Amino acid sequence: MIKKSLLATLVVSALFTGATANDDMKKWLRPTEVPQPTNNKLTPARIELGKLLYFDKRLSKNDTVSCATCHSPARGWTDEVPTSKAVGFEGRVGPRNSPVVLNSAYQRHQFWDGRAKSLEQQALGPIEADVEMNMPLKELVPKLQKIKGYKPLFDKAYPGEGINKETIAKAIASFERTVVSTESPFDKYAKGDKKAISKDAKEGFSLFKGKAHCVDCHDGFNFTDGSFQNIGLHDGNLTGKELGRYNVKKRAAWYGVFKTPTLRDVTKSYPYFHDGSVKTLKEATVICSHGGRFEHNVKNKSDVMVDRHLSEAEVDKIVEFMKSLTGPDLDIKVPTKFPQ
Protein backbone atom coordinates (compact mmCIF):
# COMPACT_ATOMS: atom_id res chain seq x y z
CA MET A 1 0.00 0.00 0.00
CA ILE A 2 1.06 3.60 -0.55
CA LYS A 3 2.25 5.06 2.74
CA LYS A 4 0.51 8.15 4.07
CA SER A 5 3.85 9.88 3.98
CA LEU A 6 3.67 9.89 0.16
CA LEU A 7 1.50 13.00 0.10
CA ALA A 8 3.94 14.81 2.32
CA THR A 9 6.79 13.58 0.15
CA LEU A 10 5.14 14.99 -2.96
CA VAL A 11 5.08 18.40 -1.34
CA VAL A 12 8.35 18.29 0.58
CA SER A 13 10.33 16.84 -2.33
CA ALA A 14 8.95 19.65 -4.45
CA LEU A 15 10.74 22.16 -2.28
CA PHE A 16 13.83 22.31 -4.44
CA THR A 17 13.79 26.09 -3.93
CA GLY A 18 16.17 25.88 -0.99
CA ALA A 19 17.64 28.83 0.80
CA THR A 20 20.85 28.41 -1.15
CA ALA A 21 19.16 28.98 -4.51
CA ASN A 22 19.44 32.54 -5.75
CA ASP A 23 16.49 34.37 -7.26
CA ASP A 24 17.74 33.87 -10.83
CA MET A 25 17.72 30.10 -10.39
CA LYS A 26 14.42 29.66 -8.55
CA LYS A 27 12.43 29.69 -11.79
CA TRP A 28 14.07 26.39 -12.71
CA LEU A 29 13.03 24.65 -9.49
CA ARG A 30 9.82 22.76 -8.87
CA PRO A 31 6.82 24.64 -7.40
CA THR A 32 5.96 23.89 -3.79
CA GLU A 33 2.80 21.93 -4.64
CA VAL A 34 1.60 19.46 -7.25
CA PRO A 35 -1.50 20.93 -8.96
CA GLN A 36 -4.72 19.13 -8.02
CA PRO A 37 -8.35 19.84 -8.96
CA THR A 38 -10.66 20.70 -6.08
CA ASN A 39 -12.91 17.71 -6.82
CA ASN A 40 -10.05 15.21 -6.85
CA LYS A 41 -7.55 16.05 -4.14
CA LEU A 42 -4.80 13.51 -3.64
CA THR A 43 -5.29 10.92 -0.91
CA PRO A 44 -3.41 7.65 -0.28
CA ALA A 45 -6.55 5.64 -1.17
CA ARG A 46 -6.98 7.41 -4.50
CA ILE A 47 -3.30 7.07 -5.39
CA GLU A 48 -3.26 3.36 -4.53
CA LEU A 49 -6.43 2.65 -6.52
CA GLY A 50 -5.12 4.65 -9.47
CA LYS A 51 -1.84 2.75 -9.44
CA LEU A 52 -3.64 -0.59 -9.58
CA LEU A 53 -5.80 0.59 -12.48
CA TYR A 54 -2.76 2.05 -14.28
CA PHE A 55 -0.97 -1.30 -14.28
CA ASP A 56 -4.02 -3.60 -14.62
CA LYS A 57 -4.17 -5.12 -18.12
CA ARG A 58 -7.81 -6.04 -17.59
CA LEU A 59 -8.69 -2.47 -18.49
CA SER A 60 -8.09 -3.47 -22.11
CA LYS A 61 -10.38 -5.43 -24.40
CA ASN A 62 -8.29 -8.61 -24.38
CA ASP A 63 -6.56 -8.25 -20.98
CA THR A 64 -3.12 -7.70 -22.56
CA VAL A 65 -2.59 -3.93 -22.48
CA SER A 66 -2.38 -1.50 -19.57
CA CYS A 67 -1.55 2.19 -19.30
CA ALA A 68 1.96 1.08 -18.34
CA THR A 69 2.37 -0.83 -21.59
CA CYS A 70 3.02 2.44 -23.43
CA HIS A 71 4.04 4.49 -20.38
CA SER A 72 6.32 2.29 -18.33
CA PRO A 73 8.37 3.47 -15.32
CA ALA A 74 11.09 1.09 -16.49
CA ARG A 75 11.31 2.91 -19.83
CA GLY A 76 11.19 6.57 -18.85
CA TRP A 77 7.36 6.57 -18.63
CA THR A 78 7.16 5.96 -22.38
CA ASP A 79 7.73 2.85 -24.51
CA GLU A 80 10.98 3.59 -26.37
CA VAL A 81 9.61 2.77 -29.80
CA PRO A 82 8.72 5.23 -32.60
CA THR A 83 4.99 4.59 -32.25
CA SER A 84 2.94 2.18 -30.19
CA LYS A 85 3.66 -0.77 -32.47
CA ALA A 86 3.75 -4.19 -30.85
CA VAL A 87 2.26 -2.80 -27.63
CA GLY A 88 -1.25 -1.73 -28.59
CA PHE A 89 -4.34 -3.91 -28.91
CA GLU A 90 -3.45 -6.98 -31.00
CA GLY A 91 -0.19 -5.30 -32.03
CA ARG A 92 -1.90 -2.38 -33.73
CA VAL A 93 0.36 0.55 -34.56
CA GLY A 94 -0.37 3.94 -33.07
CA PRO A 95 0.04 7.13 -35.11
CA ARG A 96 2.41 8.90 -32.70
CA ASN A 97 5.28 8.37 -30.31
CA SER A 98 4.05 7.71 -26.77
CA PRO A 99 4.38 10.95 -24.75
CA VAL A 100 5.88 10.74 -21.28
CA VAL A 101 3.64 10.73 -18.21
CA LEU A 102 6.38 12.31 -16.09
CA ASN A 103 5.36 15.73 -14.71
CA SER A 104 2.12 15.70 -16.69
CA ALA A 105 0.48 17.06 -13.54
CA TYR A 106 2.10 20.39 -14.27
CA GLN A 107 0.86 20.64 -17.85
CA ARG A 108 -2.23 22.57 -18.93
CA HIS A 109 -2.96 20.27 -21.88
CA GLN A 110 -2.54 16.54 -22.38
CA PHE A 111 -1.70 14.48 -25.49
CA TRP A 112 0.60 15.70 -28.25
CA ASP A 113 -2.23 17.73 -29.76
CA GLY A 114 -3.49 19.06 -26.41
CA ARG A 115 -7.03 17.81 -26.92
CA ALA A 116 -7.48 16.99 -23.23
CA LYS A 117 -7.46 19.78 -20.68
CA SER A 118 -7.02 17.61 -17.59
CA LEU A 119 -5.46 14.33 -16.56
CA GLU A 120 -8.94 13.04 -15.77
CA GLN A 121 -10.03 13.66 -19.35
CA GLN A 122 -6.79 12.20 -20.68
CA ALA A 123 -7.03 9.00 -18.64
CA LEU A 124 -10.02 7.66 -20.53
CA GLY A 125 -8.75 8.34 -24.06
CA PRO A 126 -6.25 5.46 -24.40
CA ILE A 127 -8.71 3.03 -22.84
CA GLU A 128 -11.20 3.47 -25.66
CA ALA A 129 -8.69 4.05 -28.49
CA ASP A 130 -8.85 1.11 -30.91
CA VAL A 131 -5.07 1.09 -31.42
CA GLU A 132 -4.35 1.15 -27.69
CA MET A 133 -6.63 -0.63 -25.19
CA ASN A 134 -9.76 -0.84 -27.37
CA MET A 135 -12.11 -1.06 -24.39
CA PRO A 136 -15.41 0.87 -24.64
CA LEU A 137 -16.21 2.45 -21.29
CA LYS A 138 -19.71 0.99 -21.43
CA GLU A 139 -18.02 -2.42 -21.26
CA LEU A 140 -15.22 -1.52 -18.85
CA VAL A 141 -17.44 -0.21 -16.07
CA PRO A 142 -19.50 -3.42 -15.63
CA LYS A 143 -16.30 -5.45 -16.05
CA LEU A 144 -14.71 -3.70 -13.07
CA GLN A 145 -17.96 -3.84 -11.10
CA LYS A 146 -17.81 -7.63 -11.35
CA ILE A 147 -14.33 -7.73 -9.81
CA LYS A 148 -15.28 -7.91 -6.12
CA GLY A 149 -11.89 -6.77 -4.89
CA TYR A 150 -12.20 -3.39 -6.58
CA LYS A 151 -15.43 -2.36 -4.84
CA PRO A 152 -13.95 -1.64 -1.38
CA LEU A 153 -11.06 0.23 -2.97
CA PHE A 154 -13.40 2.51 -4.91
CA ASP A 155 -15.61 2.93 -1.81
CA LYS A 156 -12.59 4.03 0.22
CA ALA A 157 -11.21 6.34 -2.45
CA TYR A 158 -14.52 7.85 -3.59
CA PRO A 159 -17.17 7.20 -0.91
CA GLY A 160 -20.69 7.01 -2.29
CA GLU A 161 -19.60 7.54 -5.91
CA GLY A 162 -19.32 3.91 -7.01
CA ILE A 163 -17.41 2.44 -9.94
CA ASN A 164 -18.03 4.50 -13.05
CA LYS A 165 -16.06 6.25 -15.77
CA GLU A 166 -15.67 9.37 -13.64
CA THR A 167 -14.12 7.58 -10.65
CA ILE A 168 -11.96 5.44 -12.93
CA ALA A 169 -10.60 8.59 -14.58
CA LYS A 170 -10.08 10.39 -11.27
CA ALA A 171 -8.21 7.47 -9.74
CA ILE A 172 -5.82 7.02 -12.69
CA ALA A 173 -5.24 10.79 -12.78
CA SER A 174 -4.45 10.74 -9.05
CA PHE A 175 -1.71 8.19 -9.55
CA GLU A 176 -0.34 10.04 -12.56
CA ARG A 177 -0.02 13.18 -10.42
CA THR A 178 2.52 11.31 -8.28
CA VAL A 179 4.72 10.61 -11.32
CA VAL A 180 7.05 13.55 -10.81
CA SER A 181 10.71 14.08 -11.57
CA THR A 182 13.28 13.49 -8.85
CA GLU A 183 16.16 15.74 -7.87
CA SER A 184 18.66 15.86 -10.71
CA PRO A 185 22.25 17.13 -10.75
CA PHE A 186 20.93 20.35 -12.29
CA ASP A 187 18.54 20.83 -9.36
CA LYS A 188 21.47 20.54 -6.96
CA TYR A 189 23.35 23.07 -9.07
CA ALA A 190 20.38 25.43 -9.06
CA LYS A 191 20.24 25.18 -5.27
CA GLY A 192 23.82 26.34 -5.00
CA ASP A 193 26.06 23.29 -5.44
CA LYS A 194 28.32 24.59 -8.18
CA LYS A 195 30.12 21.26 -8.44
CA ALA A 196 26.94 19.31 -9.19
CA ILE A 197 27.32 19.62 -12.96
CA SER A 198 30.31 19.81 -15.28
CA LYS A 199 31.87 22.89 -16.87
CA ASP A 200 30.48 21.83 -20.25
CA ALA A 201 27.00 21.48 -18.75
CA LYS A 202 27.21 24.97 -17.25
CA GLU A 203 28.25 26.39 -20.61
CA GLY A 204 25.48 24.39 -22.23
CA PHE A 205 22.97 25.93 -19.84
CA SER A 206 24.17 29.40 -20.84
CA LEU A 207 23.76 28.49 -24.51
CA PHE A 208 20.35 26.97 -23.75
CA LYS A 209 19.17 30.30 -22.30
CA GLY A 210 21.04 32.49 -24.75
CA LYS A 211 22.36 31.86 -28.23
CA ALA A 212 20.38 28.67 -28.84
CA HIS A 213 17.08 30.19 -27.68
CA CYS A 214 15.91 26.83 -26.32
CA VAL A 215 13.99 28.69 -23.61
CA ASP A 216 11.67 30.08 -26.28
CA CYS A 217 9.82 26.79 -25.79
CA HIS A 218 11.57 24.88 -23.00
CA ASP A 219 11.24 27.34 -20.14
CA GLY A 220 10.68 26.99 -16.40
CA PHE A 221 11.27 24.11 -13.98
CA ASN A 222 9.59 21.55 -16.26
CA PHE A 223 11.55 22.82 -19.25
CA THR A 224 8.42 23.35 -21.29
CA ASP A 225 6.18 26.37 -21.44
CA GLY A 226 3.24 24.24 -22.58
CA SER A 227 3.25 25.85 -25.99
CA PHE A 228 2.47 24.20 -29.34
CA GLN A 229 4.94 24.50 -32.18
CA ASN A 230 5.46 23.30 -35.75
CA ILE A 231 9.19 22.57 -35.65
CA GLY A 232 9.58 21.76 -39.34
CA LEU A 233 9.92 17.99 -39.21
CA HIS A 234 7.96 17.57 -42.45
CA ASP A 235 7.67 19.65 -45.59
CA GLY A 236 4.79 20.03 -48.00
CA ASN A 237 1.12 19.56 -47.12
CA LEU A 238 0.34 17.54 -44.02
CA THR A 239 -2.35 14.92 -43.67
CA GLY A 240 -3.90 12.77 -40.94
CA LYS A 241 -2.35 12.86 -37.50
CA GLU A 242 0.58 14.95 -38.79
CA LEU A 243 -1.85 17.89 -38.81
CA GLY A 244 -1.41 17.92 -35.04
CA ARG A 245 -3.52 20.36 -33.06
CA TYR A 246 -5.25 21.39 -36.29
CA ASN A 247 -7.29 18.19 -35.96
CA VAL A 248 -8.70 19.47 -32.66
CA LYS A 249 -10.00 22.65 -34.25
CA LYS A 250 -9.35 23.89 -37.76
CA ARG A 251 -7.40 27.00 -36.85
CA ALA A 252 -4.69 28.13 -39.25
CA ALA A 253 -2.27 28.79 -36.38
CA TRP A 254 -2.70 25.18 -35.23
CA TYR A 255 -1.64 23.61 -38.53
CA GLY A 256 1.01 20.98 -37.83
CA VAL A 257 1.73 22.11 -34.28
CA PHE A 258 2.44 19.76 -31.38
CA LYS A 259 2.93 20.27 -27.67
CA THR A 260 6.41 21.10 -26.42
CA PRO A 261 7.49 18.14 -24.26
CA THR A 262 9.27 18.34 -20.93
CA LEU A 263 13.04 17.89 -20.93
CA ARG A 264 13.06 16.40 -17.45
CA ASP A 265 14.61 12.91 -17.58
CA VAL A 266 15.00 13.46 -21.31
CA THR A 267 17.76 10.86 -21.59
CA LYS A 268 15.21 8.19 -20.62
CA SER A 269 12.43 9.18 -23.03
CA TYR A 270 13.88 8.44 -26.45
CA PRO A 271 13.01 8.35 -29.30
CA TYR A 272 12.20 12.02 -29.68
CA PHE A 273 9.50 14.23 -31.18
CA HIS A 274 5.86 13.37 -31.76
CA ASP A 275 6.71 10.98 -34.58
CA GLY A 276 9.53 9.22 -32.74
CA SER A 277 11.76 9.81 -35.75
CA VAL A 278 14.92 10.76 -33.84
CA LYS A 279 16.91 8.32 -31.72
CA THR A 280 19.54 10.56 -30.13
CA LEU A 281 19.41 13.70 -28.05
CA LYS A 282 22.16 15.23 -30.15
CA GLU A 283 20.25 14.74 -33.38
CA ALA A 284 17.14 16.28 -31.80
CA THR A 285 19.19 19.27 -30.65
CA VAL A 286 20.70 19.73 -34.11
CA ILE A 287 17.29 19.72 -35.75
CA CYS A 288 15.86 22.28 -33.33
CA SER A 289 18.91 24.54 -33.33
CA HIS A 290 19.09 24.53 -37.13
CA GLY A 291 15.49 25.63 -37.54
CA GLY A 292 13.90 22.26 -38.18
CA ARG A 293 14.55 19.35 -40.49
CA PHE A 294 13.31 21.36 -43.49
CA GLU A 295 13.99 25.02 -44.22
CA HIS A 296 11.58 25.50 -47.11
CA ASN A 297 8.04 24.48 -48.02
CA VAL A 298 7.04 24.07 -44.39
CA LYS A 299 3.58 25.47 -43.91
CA ASN A 300 3.12 27.32 -40.60
CA LYS A 301 6.58 26.62 -39.21
CA SER A 302 6.96 28.35 -35.86
CA ASP A 303 8.76 31.69 -35.81
CA VAL A 304 11.12 30.44 -33.11
CA MET A 305 12.43 27.77 -35.46
CA VAL A 306 15.38 29.53 -37.08
CA ASP A 307 18.98 28.49 -37.58
CA ARG A 308 20.95 29.55 -34.49
CA HIS A 309 24.28 28.75 -36.21
CA LEU A 310 25.58 26.55 -33.43
CA SER A 311 28.87 24.74 -33.78
CA GLU A 312 29.07 21.02 -33.08
CA ALA A 313 30.92 21.80 -29.85
CA GLU A 314 28.10 24.09 -28.75
CA VAL A 315 25.51 21.45 -29.55
CA ASP A 316 27.50 18.94 -27.50
CA LYS A 317 27.50 21.29 -24.52
CA ILE A 318 23.74 21.79 -24.71
CA VAL A 319 23.31 18.02 -24.79
CA GLU A 320 25.60 17.72 -21.77
CA PHE A 321 23.42 20.24 -19.94
CA MET A 322 20.22 18.37 -20.81
CA LYS A 323 21.74 15.17 -19.47
CA SER A 324 22.01 16.91 -16.11
CA LEU A 325 18.20 17.14 -16.03
CA THR A 326 17.96 13.38 -15.45
CA GLY A 327 17.44 12.29 -11.86
CA PRO A 328 17.14 8.89 -10.17
CA ASP A 329 14.16 6.74 -11.09
CA LEU A 330 11.04 7.47 -9.08
CA ASP A 331 10.65 4.93 -6.29
CA ILE A 332 7.42 3.22 -7.29
CA LYS A 333 6.67 -0.40 -6.49
CA VAL A 334 4.91 -1.86 -9.50
CA PRO A 335 1.99 -4.05 -8.38
CA THR A 336 2.19 -7.75 -9.19
CA LYS A 337 -1.16 -8.72 -7.65
CA PHE A 338 -4.49 -7.17 -8.53
CA PRO A 339 -8.00 -7.25 -7.02
CA GLN A 340 -9.96 -10.42 -7.73
The dihedral over CA atoms of 132, 133, 136, 142, expressed in degrees to the nearest 10, equals -170
Among 48, 90, 128, 132, which one carries the catalytic annotation?
132
- Report whether 168 contacts 125 (CB < 8 A): no
The dihedral over CA atoms of 157, 163, 165, 167, expressed in degrees to the nearest 10, equals -10
- Report whether 258 contacts 95 (CB < 8 A): no
Query: Is 139 considered catalytic here?
Result: no
**What DSSP element (H or E) covers 312?**
helix 312-323
Distances (CA, A) of 180 to 53, 103, 112, 326: 18, 5, 19, 12
Please, what is the end-to-end C-alpha distance for the chain in angstroms? 16
Distance of alpha carbon 195 from the chain centroid: 29
Helices marked H in 148-263: 150-157, 165-176, 185-190, 199-209
Q: Under 8 Å CB-to-CB from 138, ≥6 apart: which residues?
A: none
CA triple 281-27-208, angle to 5 deg: 35
As a whole number of angstroms, the distance between CA 77 and CA 100 comes to 5
As a whole number of angstroms, the distance between CA 142 and CA 136 comes to 11
Position 233, amino acid: L
Half-sphere exposure in the Cβ direction for 132 (13 Å, CA): 21
Distances (CA, A) of 51 to 68, 185, 335: 10, 28, 8
Please list the active-site residues: 132
